[in-house]
Structure 1
Amino acid sequence: MAASIGSLLAEISGVEDPIEELQSLKTALLSIPVSALRDSVSGQRFDVIFSLLDSNEREQVELCVDILERILMALSPVNVVQNYRVELQGGLTHPKETVKILALMQIGRVVEHPDAVTEILNNHDILRGVIHCIGEEMSVAKQAVQSLSKLSHSKPGLDKLFQSDLLNAIKDVMATSDIIRYRIYELLVEISSVSPISLGYCANSSLISQLLSELTGDDILIRATAIEMVTALAHSPHGRQHLSQQGIMDKLSNMIRGAETDPLSSLYLPGLVKFFGNLAIMESPQQVCETYPAFLDKVFEMALDPDPAMIGVALDTLGLLGSTVEGKQILQKTGKKFKAVLLRMSKHGSLGATNLRVRSLDAISQLLTLLPEQQTEDLLALTESWFQLLSNEPMDMIRNIITQPFPELHCSALRIFTAIADQPWGQKLMMSTPGFMEFILDRSTGQTKEAKDGKFQLVGTLAGSSTAAEILGSQHYLRMKTYLREGPYHVTAVATVSTEGAD
C-alpha cells in the first residue's frame, strides 16, 4: 500500500487538474486503518499536497485538507513538527478557514507532546500566528484558544506567553474589537483555572485586572459579558480567593443593590444572580446568603417578576440553592417570603410557557429531594410542608401535569414524585391517593423513551426505599419488583383469540 500511495503522489505531481487523482489518494488513505497508516506514510513526502493548497479551487483545497488531516494524524507530533513546521506556519495565514483549522489542530497536538513542544516554543512566528488566529472566524479562533490553552499547561509555555514579547502580541490582538478582547479573556480564564501558578502569570500580566475593571464599565453589554467571565473564574478555589482579595464579591453585591435605580439592569442582573448562586454551592449557601443578603432578596424579587427571563434565572437559582440541606434551611428561615415564592413557583409549573413550566417543576423537585442520610425528622417535616404548599391537592396537581401531552412536562413532573418517593411521608401520600399506585405501574402512560426511563426511576426509588415494603404493603411492593425486573421498555404481549368458523 505504501507503493500505491507513492505512485498516487507521483501521478498528482504530473497533472494540471489533479481532482481525480486527489480523490483516489483520499480513498486509498481512508481504506487503511489509522493504526496501520503510519507505516504506509512514513518515509513519504507530501510537499505536493501542501503546494496544492495554494489554489482558488474549493474542491481541490478541501480534498487536500482531508488528505493531510488523515496523514498528519497518523504521524507522531515529533514527526509532524520536524518535517512540516514551515507548512504549518503557512497554514495559519491561509485564506481558507479549513486550512487554518488543520494547522491549529496539529499545533495543538505538538504542544501537548513533551518532546515536540520545544520546536514550537522556539518558534516565535508560529506562536504569533496562533495568537493572531484568535482574531479570525469563530471556528478558527476556538481552535487557536485551545492550542494556546494546551501550551500554558507547562511552565515553559507560561513563560513564553506571558514573559516574552508574545504578551504584546496578545495585547495588540485584544485591541482589535470588543469581541476579540473577550475571546482573549476566555483564554485567560481557562489558563487561570488550571492552578494558582497559572493564575499568577495571568494576574501579573495585568490582563486579569483589565477584565475585572470591565465589571463597572459604561457599556452594559460588556459589563454583562464580564460578569460571565468572572463567574467562570470563580469555579476554581484559587480563582475565588483572588476575586475575594480584589474585593470583587462586594463590588458585585453592590451592583445588585444599585440595580434598583438602573433602567438597564435587566441585561446584567441574571448574570449577577448566577454568580452568587454558583458561589453559594461551591462555598456555603449560609455564608453567601448571610454575607450578601442582597443576593437572596433579589432572587425572591425576580421569582415574582413578570419578566420570563428574570423568573427563569430565579427558578434555576432557587433549585440550585435548595438542592443542598444548608440551602433548604436558609430558604425556610425566610418564612413568608419563601412561601410566597413557592406558591408562585407552583403556579408557573401549572400555567404558562412550557420552558418556564419545566424550569419551575425541576426547581421544585430539587427543593424536595433528600438523600437517605439527610432524612432527619426536621428536614422530612420541612419537605412535606413545602409539598403541601404547592396546592390544595398537590398529588392531583402533579399527576394532571403528567397526563398532559407534553413530554418535557411529563418527565419534569415525574421527577417531583421521584423526589418524594423515598421519604416516608411521600410514600404514605402515594398510598392514600386513590389509584396512584396503579397509575405509576401502568406502562401505557408516557410512551417516549425519556418518559419510560423517568417512570422506571420513580418505581426504582420507591422500591429501593427501606420503608417501602412496610408502608406500601407486600402486594404493591412485589408488583414494583416485577416492574423493575422486566425493565423500563417491557411490553405485555396481548393474546389473539380466534373463533372457529369465523370469517
Structure 2
Amino acid sequence: MAASVSELLREIAELDEPLVELHSLKTAVNTVPLNALREVATGLRFGVLFNLLETDDREQIDVCVDILERLLQALEPIYLAQTYKLELQKGLQHSDDHVKVLALTQIGRIAESIDAVVLVLGSLELLKEMIHCIGGERISVANEAIKSLSRIAQNKAGLDALFTTSTLQDLKDVMGINDVVRYRVYELVLGIAVMSPASLEYCVNGSFITRLLGELAGDDVLIRATAIEMLTTLTQSQHGRLYLAQQGIIDRISNMIIGANSDPFSSFYLPNLVKFFGNLAMVDSPQQICERYPAFIEKVFEMIKGHEQTMIGVGLDTIGMLGSCLEGKQVLNKTGTAFQDVLRRLGSISCNASTDLRIRCLETIACLHSLPIDQQTEDLLGMTESWFHALHNHPMETFRSLSMQPFPEIHIGALKVFTAIAGQPWGQRLMISTPGFVEYIVDRTTEADKSSKDAKFALVKALVNTKTIAEIFGNQHYLQLRAYLQEGPYFVKAVATVAVEGGE
C-alpha cells in the first residue's frame, strides 16, 4: 500500500482532472500506518498536492487538505520546516479556511521543536501572516493561529520575534479591526504572559496589559466584563498574581464589587468580578483572599440569597468551589450565622428552583459536605454535620425524595450528596436510621442509565471503604454492600426460565 502512495502521486501529477485519483490517494494514506507512511513521505515531494489547492473546486481542496494533513503529520518537524516552509506560508494566504488551519496546525508542530522553530523565527513574513489570521472571520482559523503563536513564544527567541521586531506593530494593527479581534489578541498575549515572569515582562513592555487594564474603566459594560474575564487568566500563575497585586488591580476589582450596588448595569460584569476572586482564592489562599477582600464573600452570599437566576448560579458555583477544599470550608464556617442563612437558602434552592439551579445546588452541597478520611477531626465532622442539618428540617428524607425523582441529573445530584456524607460516621448513622435507606442503596432497579449506575456505585464504594461501616451498618448490611462493590456497577442477576410442556 505504501508503494501505491508513490504511484498515485506520480499519476496525479500528470492529470488535468485528478479528483478520482485523489480520493484513491486519500484512502491509501489513511490505510498505511503512520510509521510506515513516514518512510514513504520523507522521500516524496508533495508540491503537486499544494498546487492542486489553487482551484475553486471545493471538493478538490477538501480532499487535498485531508491527504496533506496525513502526509505532513508523518514528517518530522525539522524536515517539515526545511522542505515545506514556503508552501505553509502560502497556505496562510489561501482563501479557504481549511487550508489556513492545515498550515497553522503544521506550523504549530514545527514550533514545538527547538531545532525546527528556528527556521520559522527567521521568517518575519510568515509570522505576520499568522498574526493576520487572528483577524480572520472564522474562529477556527483564529484559534489555531493563537495556539501556534503561543507555542512559538515558549522560548526567548520566540518572544523576541513577536515583541521586539516589526511583528509587534502587526499585533497592534490587528487589534484595530474590531472588538472581537482585539480580545483575541488579548487572549494570545495573556496566554503568553502566564508562561513565565520573563514572558509577562515582554507583554507588559509591549503595552498590551496596560491597555487591557484601561478597558476596566470603559463606558461599555460588556467590554468591561470581558476585560475582567481576560484578567482572570493572569491569576493562574504566581507571577501573574503578584503583578496584579503590585499594580493595585486586585484592590481595584474589589472596589468594583463594592460599587456594584450603585451601578444599574452591574449585572453585566458582576459575575465576572466574582469569578475573578473565586479563581484567585482557589489558586492562592481562600483564607487570605476572603479575609483581605471581605466584599467578595459578602457579595457571593448576597447573590445566592437574591432572585436573579444568573447571579444565583454564579454564587452557587463559587461557594461549591470554595467549599471543595478544607481551607475554603473553614473560611465559610467563620462567617457564622451568615453562612447558616446561606445553607438554608441552598436547601430551598435544591427543592424549589429551576432544574438547572437545582442541579448546580446539589453539586455545591456535595462539595461542601465532602470530607476525606485524613481530614476528619472531631471539630470538622461536627461542622459538616451541623451544615447538613441546616439545609432542611429533615435532610435525609428530602434528599431521598430527590433521589427518587425521574429527572436523571437531579437523581444523580442527590446521590452525590449521599456519597459526600457516606465517608463520615454521622452520615452513616443517619443512613442506617432512615427506614428503607439501606435497601434503597443495594437495589439496582432504581438506576436506569449508566450515569445513575455509576453514581450509585460511587456511593456504595464510599461506604465500603470506611473503617466504621461494619460497626454502624451491621455485618449483614456490610456484606450486602461489599457484594455490590465486588459485582461492579452494571451487574445483572441472571433469571432462570422454566419451559412448561404444553404451555402456550
What TM-score comes out, normalization by structure 2 length?
A: 0.97
**CA distance in 1: counterparts of 2:37 and 2:325, whole angstroms:** 52
- Residue in structure 2 matched with residue 218 of structure 1 by the alignment: 219
Distance 2:499 2:119 in 1: 80
Whether the 8 Å CA contact 1:12–1:18 is kept in 2: the answer is yes
2:110 & 2:326 partners in 1: Cα distance?
47
TM-fit CA distance, 1:464 = 1.0
Give the secondary structure class of the aligned counterpart of 1:115.
helix
Instruction: Trace 1:174-189 onto structure 2 (pairs within 5 A).
Output: 174-189=175-190
Quick check: 336-345 or 236-245, which moved more?
336-345
Alignment deviations for residues 200-237 of structure 1 (CA, whole Å, 9 cap, x no partner): 11112111111122122111111111111111110111
Moved beyond 6 Å, runs of 4+: none
Contiguous gaps of at least 5 residues in structure 1: none
Matched residues in 1 for 2:207 and 2:499: separation? 85
Contact 1:2 1:41 survives alignment (8 Å): no
Report the count of equivalent residues.
503
Partner of 1:32: 32
Aligned partner of 1:330 in structure 2 is: 331
Larger mean CA deviation between 220-229 and 17-26 belongs to: 17-26
CA contact (8 A) 2:2 2:36 kept: no
How much identity, in percent, do the aligned residues show?
55
1:348-387 aligned at under 5 Å gives the runs 348-387=349-388
Aligned partner of 2:322 in structure 1 is 321
The question of 1:232 aligning with 2:203 is answered no
Aligned to 1:157: 158
Structure 1 position 321, deviation (Å): 1.5
Distance 1:396 1:491 in 2: 28
Q: TM-score, normalization: structure 1?
A: 0.97
1:478 alignment partner in structure 2: 479
Post-superposition offset of 1:2? 5.7
State how 1:26-425 maps to structure 2 within 5 Å.
Answer: 26-136=26-136, 137-425=138-426
Q: Which residue of 2 is the match for residue 21 of structure 1?
A: 21
CA distance in structure 2 between the partners assigned to 1:356 and 1:3 by the alignment: 60
> Residues 482 and 2 of structure 1: is their aligned pair in 2 closer, same or farther, counting only changes over 3 Å?
closer
Q: How does 1:423-462 map to 2 (within 5 A)?
A: 423-462=424-463
Q: Deviations over 1:119-159 (max 9, x none)?
A: 11111110110111101121001111111100111111111
Per-residue deviation at 1:391?
Answer: 1.4
**Could you say if the C-alpha distance between residues 18 and 500 of structure 1 is closer, same or farther in structure 2, counting changes exceeding 3 Å?**
closer
Q: Which moved more, 1:320-329 or 1:359-368?
A: 320-329
Question: Does the CA-based 8 Å contact 1:256-1:295 persist in structure 2?
Answer: yes
After TM superposition, give the deviation of residue 500 of structure 1 in Å: 5.2
**Range moving further from structure 2, 30-39 or 432-441:** 30-39
Deviations 1:218-260 (A, max 9, x none): 1111111111111111011111111101101100000001111
Write the letter of the residue equivalent to 2:346. Answer: M
Would you say the 8 A contact 2:350–2:357 is kept in 1?
yes
Q: What is the CA–CA distance in structure 1 between the aligned matches of 2:103 and 2:416, rounded to whole Å?
A: 47
Matches within 5 A, 1:480-499: 480-499=481-500
CA-CA distance at 1:465 after TM superposition: 1.0
Q: Distance in 1 between matches of 2:45 and 2:324?
A: 59
Matched residue of 2:44: which SS?
coil
Give the letter for the 1:372 counterpart: I
Superposition deviation, residue 12 in structure 1? 2.0
Give the Cα separation in 1 of the matches to 2:208 and 2:502: 89
- Do 1:227 and 1:271's aligned partners in 2 also have CA atoms closer than 8 Å? yes
